[in-house]
Chain A
Amino acid sequence: MALSRREFVKLVTSSGIVLSLARLAPAAPPGFTARETLPGRQAWNPAAAGAGRIDGVAKVTGAKLYASDYRASDLPGWPAKTSHAMLVRAADATHVYAGLDLARLRGALEPTVVVTAADVARIGARVPPFYRDDLFCAAGKTPLYLGQPVALLIFEEFDAFDRARLVLRDGTPVRFGRETGPVPMPPYGANRFVRVAGPTPGAPDVYSPLQAGWARPIRFQHGQVPVWAPARRTGDVNASASYHGERIRAELAANDPGMLVLDREFATQSVDPMFLEPECGLGWYDTRNGTLALVLGVQSPYEAATSVASLLGRARAGFKPRRIEGHFAYVGGGFGGRDHTPMPLYVALAALFLADRPVRLGHDRYEQFQAGIKRHAFTMRSRIGVDRASGKIRAFAADHVLDGGGQANYSASVADVGATGAIGIYEIPKVDVTTVAVHSRGVTAGSMRGYGTLQTMTALETLIDETAEALRLDPIEFRRRNALPTDGRTMAGNTYWGPVRTPEILDKLDKHAIWRERAAEKARRQQRAGILVGTGVACVTKDFGSGADCTLATVGVEPDGRIWIHNDAVEMGTGIGTALANRVAGVLGGVADEVAIAQVDAFGPLALVKTGDPYAMAQATQDRAARNPRWVPEISSPSSGSIGAHVSTHGAAEAARVVFRFGLWPAALDLWKIAPGDPRARRWETARWRDRTLVMPELPPLPLEQVAARAHARKGITGAMVHGFSRWAWSRATFDLAGQPWTADIDALAVRRGGGDFARRDRTSVTFPPTVYTRFGTSYSSVCGTVVRVEVERTAGVVRVVSAYSVVECGSALVPQIVIGQMQGGFAMGVGYALLESLPLYEDGPGNGRWNLGPYVVARAADLPLSAFECEVLPPLAPGDPPKGVAEVVMIPIVPAILNAIFDATGRRIQSLPVTPAMLKGV
Chain B
Amino acid sequence: MPNRRPRTVRFDAPLVWPTLAALLLAATLTTPAEAADAARTLAPPESFQAIGDAAARSAAVFTEVSKVLTHPRCVNCHPAGDRPLQHESGRLHQPPVERGADGFGLAAMRCSICHQKANFDPGRMPGHPHWHLAPRPMGWQGKTPGEICAQVKDPARNGGRSLQQIHEHIATDSLVGWAWAPGFGREAAPGTQKETGALVAAWIKDGAVCPGP
Task: Report A's interface with B, CB cutoff 8 A.
Answer: 162, 166, 169-170, 850, 853-855, 857
Cα A853 to Cα B91 in complex, Å, equals 11
Inter-chain contacts of A857 with B (CB < 8 A): 91
Inter-chain contacts of B86 with A (CB < 8 A): 854
Instruction: For the complex of A and B, list the 10 residue pairs with the smallest distance between their C-beta atoms, beginning with the closest.
Output: A854-B87, A166-B122, A855-B87, A854-B86, A855-B89, A854-B94, A166-B121, A854-B91, A170-B184, A169-B184
Inter-chain contacts of B89 with A (CB < 8 A): 855
Cα A853 to Cα B89 in complex, Å, equals 13
Inter-chain contacts of B184 with A (CB < 8 A): 169-170
Within the complex, what minimum Cβ distance (angstroms) separates A109 from chain B? 14
Cα A855 to Cα B184 in complex, Å, equals 16
Within the complex, what minimum Cβ distance (angstroms) separates A365 from chain B? 11
Is the CB of B88 closer than 8 A to any CB of chain A? yes
Cα A853 to Cα B94 in complex, Å, equals 10
Q: Which residue of A lies closest to B93 (CB)?
A: A854
Q: Which residue of B lies closest to A169 (CB)?
A: B184
Q: Which of B74-94 contact A (CB under 8 A)?
A: 86-89, 91, 94
Given contacts A169-B184, A170-B184, whether A855 and B121 have CB atoms under 8 Å apart is: no
Inter-chain contacts of A855 with B (CB < 8 A): 87-89, 91
Cα A850 to Cα B86 in complex, Å, equals 15
Inter-chain contacts of A162 with B (CB < 8 A): 122
Cα A169 to Cα B122 in complex, Å, equals 10
Inter-chain contacts of A170 with B (CB < 8 A): 184
Q: Which residue of A lies closest to B185 (CB)?
A: A850
Inter-chain contacts of B94 with A (CB < 8 A): 853-854
Cα A170 to Cα B186 in complex, Å, equals 12
Mostly helix, strand, loop or mixed at chain B's interface?
Answer: loop
What is the 8 Å Cβ interface bit string for chain B, positions 107-146, against chain A (1 contact, 0 not)? 0000000000000011000000000000000000000000
Inter-chain contacts of B122 with A (CB < 8 A): 162, 166
Q: Which residue of A lies closest to B121 (CB)?
A: A166
Q: A162-B122, A855-B87 are in contact. List 14 more A-B contacts (CB 8 A).
A: A166-B121, A166-B122, A169-B184, A170-B184, A850-B185, A853-B94, A854-B86, A854-B87, A854-B91, A854-B94, A855-B88, A855-B89, A855-B91, A857-B91
Cα A855 to Cα B86 in complex, Å, equals 9
Cα A537 to Cα B89 in complex, Å, equals 33
Cα A166 to Cα B89 in complex, Å, equals 25
Cα A136 to Cα B26 in complex, Å, equals 46
Within the complex, what minimum Cβ distance (angstroms) separates A540 from chain B? 32
Inter-chain contacts of A166 with B (CB < 8 A): 121-122
- 8 A-B contacts, Cβ less than 8 Å apart? A162-B122, A166-B121, A169-B184, A853-B94, A854-B87, A855-B88, A855-B89, A855-B91
Inter-chain contacts of B91 with A (CB < 8 A): 854-855, 857
Inter-chain contacts of A853 with B (CB < 8 A): 94
Inter-chain contacts of B121 with A (CB < 8 A): 166
**Which of A170, A850, A853, A854 has the most C-beta atoms of chain B within 10 angstroms of its own C-beta?**
A854
Q: Which residue of A lies closest to B122 (CB)?
A: A166
Cα A850 to Cα B185 in complex, Å, equals 8
Inter-chain contacts of B87 with A (CB < 8 A): 854-855
Q: Which residue of A lies closest to B87 (CB)?
A: A854
Cα A169 to Cα B91 in complex, Å, equals 24
Cα A578 to Cα B122 in complex, Å, equals 40
Within the complex, what minimum Cβ distance (angstroms) separates B33 from chain A? 15
What is the 8 Å Cβ interface bit string for chain B, positions 49-86, against chain A (1 contact, 0 not)? 00000000000000000000000000000000000001
Within the complex, what minimum Cβ distance (angstroms) separates B44 from chain A? 29
Cα A166 to Cα B125 in complex, Å, equals 13
Within the complex, what minimum Cβ distance (angstroms) separates B34 from chain A? 20
Cα A854 to Cα B121 in complex, Å, equals 17
Q: Which residue of A lies closest to B88 (CB)?
A: A855
Within the complex, what minimum Cβ distance (angstroms) separates B145 from chain A? 22
Inter-chain contacts of A850 with B (CB < 8 A): 185
Inter-chain contacts of A854 with B (CB < 8 A): 86-87, 91, 94
Cα A850 to Cα B94 in complex, Å, equals 18
Cα A162 to Cα B86 in complex, Å, equals 26
Within the complex, what minimum Cβ distance (angstroms) separates A855 from chain B? 6
What is the 8 Å Cβ interface bit string for chain B, positions 177-213, against chain A (1 contact, 0 not)? 0000000110000000000000000000000000000
Inter-chain contacts of A169 with B (CB < 8 A): 184
Cα A549 to Cα B88 in complex, Å, equals 46
Cα A162 to Cα B122 in complex, Å, equals 9
Q: Which residue of A lies closest to B89 (CB)?
A: A855
Q: Which residue of B lies closest to A163 (CB)?
A: B122
Q: Which of B11-48 contact A (CB under 8 A)?
A: none
Within the complex, what minimum Cβ distance (angstroms) separates B202 from chain A? 35
Within the complex, what minimum Cβ distance (angstroms) separates B123 from chain A? 10
Inter-chain contacts of B88 with A (CB < 8 A): 855
Cα A169 to Cα B123 in complex, Å, equals 12
Inter-chain contacts of B185 with A (CB < 8 A): 850
Cα A296 to Cα B108 in complex, Å, equals 38
Within the complex, what minimum Cβ distance (angstroms) separates A733 from chain B? 55
Q: Which residue of B lies closest to A857 (CB)?
A: B91
Within the complex, what minimum Cβ distance (angstroms) separates A634 from chain B? 44
Q: Which residue of B lies closest to A862 (CB)?
A: B96
Within the complex, what minimum Cβ distance (angstroms) separates B124 from chain A? 9
Within the complex, what minimum Cβ distance (angstroms) separates B24 from chain A? 28
Within the complex, what minimum Cβ distance (angstroms) separates B5 from chain A? 14
Cα A683 to Cα B36 in complex, Å, equals 82
Cα A855 to Cα B186 in complex, Å, equals 12
Cα A855 to Cα B89 in complex, Å, equals 8
Cα A170 to Cα B121 in complex, Å, equals 12
What is the 8 Å Cβ interface bit string for chain B, positions 158-186, against chain A (1 contact, 0 not)? 00000000000000000000000000110
Cα A169 to Cα B121 in complex, Å, equals 11
Cα A254 to Cα B94 in complex, Å, equals 55
Within the complex, what minimum Cβ distance (angstroms) separates B88 from chain A? 7
Cα A52 to Cα B185 in complex, Å, equals 43
